[in-house]
Amino acid sequence: MANTILVVVEQREGKLNRVSWETVAAAQAIAAETGWTVEAAVFGSGISSIAGEVAGKRVAKVYALESPRLAEYTPDGVVAALKQFIEQKKPALVLMPHTYQVRDFAPQLTTALGRTLISDAIAFRKEGDKLLFTRQMFQGKFAADVSFACEPPHFATFQAGAFRGDKAEAGASAAPVETVNVDIPESAVRTKPEAPFKEAKQAVDLTQAEIIVSVGRGIKEQKHIELAKQLAEALGGEIAASRPICDSGWLPMDRQIGSSGQTVAPKLYLAVGISGAIQHIVGMKGSRSIIAINKDAEAPIFEIADYGVVGNLFDIVPALTEEVKKAKG
């Protein structure tokens, strides 16, 4: 497997996490430039149907790593399974989606293998025979090209949205699936997970909103949230926020947009005083139109905005609210 890219897809309770298709698309794109072979692995218990689903894509082979100890996710169980498998197969490159679950086990896996992980990459580039991975640094203010300086296998994770899942090519015929029964000793798993749960039912479903006015740190004080609320009201939209605002209790947690909150794609996303940290961007970059108002012209939010205003939101937002009211009569 020396010239193989291994994609480790993610499943939970028998359902494939769709972000896995993005990783398959990334692997196919890297393969197109390197000539390497793409294979995939899925781990769990009773996962043959998921393995079959992945085998429909243009991959050379799919491995189903099966163990009753993988029925519930634990980092120890997954690391035990993947470590054996990777040591035996020796792929050149292992790719995974940058999900919370992968963040939980991947650094343990690479450390156990004496390797390193380039996490949260958004793109790759081939320069000579070197693969460079692009990642955002300093909250998206800079990008960095990062290379591996160790022997393979190399490990990288891709940020959600970095590649398009619908670009993952289907194969001409289904790829072969090989079931690998992995042996995980009971003593290897040190943590006891309980079933995932949701806290109080979500009061607002922001995914259905057509217009969202979202506030970030730039709003400075709780009492100023009112300015954004008035704008949202005038536009007939919902109010939302980036994580720090909800962490401070200025708006309830169910108003949070981003990787740990809701993912939205409204007609209009109006970002007020939001700098555009990666964790926020992943939750709203699919919006049809994005307007950003921020005092910092260098704020990463302007990278993805359709319309941008650099200025003092405390002047601009009330003026805009008035103008919207006038326009609506």
Q: Which of residues 278-307 bind another protein (CB under 8 A)?
A: 278, 288-289, 291, 296, 298, 300, 302-307
Provide the angle, in degrees to the nearest 10, between the axes of the packed helices 313-328 and 225-235: 20
Query: 13-52: which residues touch another protein (CB under 8 A)?
Result: none
Q: Which is nearer to another protein, 39 or 75 (CB)?
A: 75
Q: Which is nearer to another protein, 192 or 223 (CB)?
A: 192
Query: 50-109: which residues touch another protein (CB under 8 A)?
Result: 75-76, 99-101, 103-108
Buried b (16+ CB within 10 A) or exposed e, 16-55: bbebbbbbbbbbbbbbeebebbbbbbbbbeebeebbebbb
Query: 238-257: which residues touch another protein (CB under 8 A)?
Result: 243-244, 246-247, 249, 254
- Which one of residues 22, 66, 120, 238 is an interface residue with another protein (CB under 8 A)? 120
| CB of 281 closer than 8 Å to CB of 224 | no
- Greatest Cα pair distance, the chain, in angstroms, is 70
Place of tokens 């398959």: 24
- Which one of residues 51, 261, 272, 281 is an interface residue with another protein (CB under 8 A)? 261
- Which one of residues 115, 165, 174, 250 is an interface residue with another protein (CB under 8 A)? 115
The reply on whether position 311 binds another protein by CB under 8 A is: yes
| CB of 248 closer than 8 Å to CB of 235 | no
Half-sphere exposure of 124 (CA within 13 A, CB side): 28
Query: 124-183: which residues touch another protein (CB under 8 A)?
Result: 132, 135-150
- Which one of residues 187, 199, 203, 208 is an interface residue with another protein (CB under 8 A)? 199
> How many CB atoms within 10 Å of residue 73?
19
Give the β-pairing of 130-137 and 117-127: antiparallel
> How many CB atoms within 10 Å of residue 263?
16
Residues in the chain: 329
- Which one of residues 119, 214, 230, 242 is an interface residue with another protein (CB under 8 A)? 119
The reply on whether position 205 binds another protein by CB under 8 A is: no
Q: Which is nearer to another protein, 44 or 140 (CB)?
A: 140
- Nearest-approach distance from CB 89 to another protein, in angstroms: 20
The reply on whether position 112 binds another protein by CB under 8 A is: yes
Instruction: Label residue 309 exposed, middle or buried (CB < 10 Å: 0-12, 13-18, 19+).
Output: middle
Q: Which is nearer to another protein, 23 or 119 (CB)?
A: 119
- Which one of residues 195, 203, 221, 223 is an interface residue with another protein (CB under 8 A)? 195
Q: Which is nearer to another protein, 172 or 297 (CB)?
A: 297
- Which one of residues 60, 182, 204, 211 is an interface residue with another protein (CB under 8 A)? 211
| CB of 212 closer than 8 Å to CB of 186 | no
Omega within 30 of 0 (cis) for the link into 266? no
The reply on whether position 308 binds another protein by CB under 8 A is: yes
CA-nearest of 86, 85, 62 to 11 is 62
Show Cβ contacts of residue 14 under 8 Å, excluding neighbours closer than 6 positions.
44, 46, 47, 49, 50
Binding residues for another protein, how many (CB under 8 A)?
Answer: 94
- Nearest-approach distance from CB 104 to another protein, in angstroms: 5
- Nearest-approach distance from CB 313 to another protein, in angstroms: 10
- Nearest-approach distance from CB 284 to another protein, in angstroms: 13
Dig out the tokens for 164 from the structure.
Answer: 């398009």
